[in-house]
Every structure is written in C-alpha cells, then in structure tokens.
A and B are shown apart, each in its own frame.
Chain A
Amino acid sequence: MNSKFDEENHILYLEIAEEIDHHTTEKIRRRMDYEITRFMPRKIVFDFSNVSFMDSAGIGLLIGRYKLVKLLGGTAELINANKSILKVLEMSGILKIIPIKQAV
C-alpha cells in the first residue's frame, strides 16, 4: 500500500496495490491506521486502481477505517473500483457511508 497526503486540502490518498482478503487485510489495516493517525486527514480516499480482487474481508477493513476517520472528524471516499469489486461493495451497502467516485 502507498499513501499520498495532500497537505493543502488535508486529504490522505490510500493506494492499495494487492488483492484484499482475510490474509492481506491485517497488514493493510496496520499501514492505513498508521497513516491516518499520523496525518489526521479531513478526508481519506481509498484508491482501488490497482486492486484486482476483494471479498468480504475488505468490507470489514473499509468500515473499520471509516469509523476511525469519523472519530477524528473526517470523511471517506472510494475511487476506481473494478466491476466485480463494485458488485461486492454495492451488496454490502457500504457505499452509503463511503461514496464512490469512478474514473477521475
């Protein structure tokens, strides 16, 4: 996972670059929580450009990070999810709290 912080707008971009399942979430979670608590962003953006697979473990991961950012007074957004990941996201209802912005 890579991250970029936009200091001017206080936006933290979290660029995930691997398949998201139960095995990989623990490492991704630790990295994300480290970056979030370090920068205290007003908004986090999950960038899915380089994620080819995600199952329900990813839903738990996203909700957990959303709760943390919300606690710090921020919001969350998701970009560039592929078709099959979008299907998992839509089914979970998570897009109501983490809106998706495609192809920016």
Chain B
Amino acid sequence: MKSRYDNEMELEFLSRSNNEAFARITVAAFCAQLDPTIEELADIKTAVSEAVTNCIVHGYEDTEGKVKIKATLLNDEVEIEITDSGKGIEDVELARKPLYTTKASLERSGMGFTIMESFMDKVEIHSVVGIGTKVIMKKKIKKQENIEENMEENALIN
C-alpha cells in the first residue's frame, strides 16, 4: 500500500554571503527526510548554493535584502523555491545560457543556471525587472532502500 508523504518548510535570511552555507545545509537537512543518496543530496546542495548566491550577488548587488526559501516534499519529489526582491533579470533565456554572466570582472563563470539545470530535474525562472526573481527547482528522489526491499519481496514471491 502506498501512503502519501508531504512536508513543508520556509526560511528567510539576510542577503549576506556568510548565509550561503547555512542555506544549502539547512535545505539539504530538510530533504534528508526522503532518504536521498549522498549524490542526490550533493546535487541539491550545489543547486541551492547557486540560486542563493545569485540572489546575493546579482539580485541585491551592493544592497541588502531578504532571501526566501520554501521547500516542499511531496511523495518522492522535492520542490525548492528561492526568491529575492532585487533588481530582476531582463532576459531570462539569455541568463540561462552556459557561460553567460554580467559579472565576468568578479571571476564569475556564468555556470550557475547550467549547474542548477543539470543537477535538478526541472528549473523555472520567473523574474520581473525592479521587482525580483524566483527560481523553482524540482527533483525526484529515487528511493534506494525501496528498490532493494522490492527486490527482496520479489525474490520471496519467486
């Protein structure tokens, strides 16, 4: 019998770079409820770090504001929403492109969105200039234990 699993959390913090580690570790700890593999957890950590850093570096630049994270677990999927009320992105399709960066002078590589897209299953970007940016990322967690359990069950039946 399949039971539905759900949970939700929200986090709000100042756009200071020393909160980047706090944010990715907290989200990863919350997602650990779904029994992800070490690799899946590392993927989530990296994607969250990219999105949060973008809010701090590009969204707020030299100003300070709030970064909001909402994480939702539903069955075997995690959805993470990361929002800033900063300057927004003019051309989202261009921003998504590998190596595209507006801050090359600060040694940014323009790989942030590319990493989010390849480490998560789905990445949506909603942005309005002057209002802010919201990134929504989804990832299915492939349950290792369950696969093993099912194999054991199947072995017993056979």
Which residues of A are in contact with B by a Cβ distance under 8 Å?
19, 21-23, 25, 29, 53, 55-57, 59-61, 63-64, 83-84, 87-88, 91-92
Contact = CB atoms under 8 A, between A and B. Distances in A.
Q: What 9 pairs across the A-B complex have the smallest Cβ distances? A: A84-B42, A60-B107, A23-B17, A59-B109, A56-B111, A55-B49, A22-B53, A60-B109, A64-B107
B109 A22 contact: no
A63 B39 CA distance: 25
Interface SS of chain A: helix, strand, loop or mixed? Answer: helix
A51 B132 CA distance: 33
Given A21-B21, A22-B57, 20 more contacts: A21-B49, A22-B53, A23-B20, A25-B107, A29-B107, A55-B53, A55-B115, A56-B111, A56-B115, A57-B108, A60-B107, A63-B107, A64-B107, A83-B39, A84-B39, A84-B46, A87-B43, A91-B111, A91-B115, A92-B109
A55 B18 contact: no
Contacts, number: 64
Interface SS of chain B: helix, strand, loop or mixed? Answer: helix
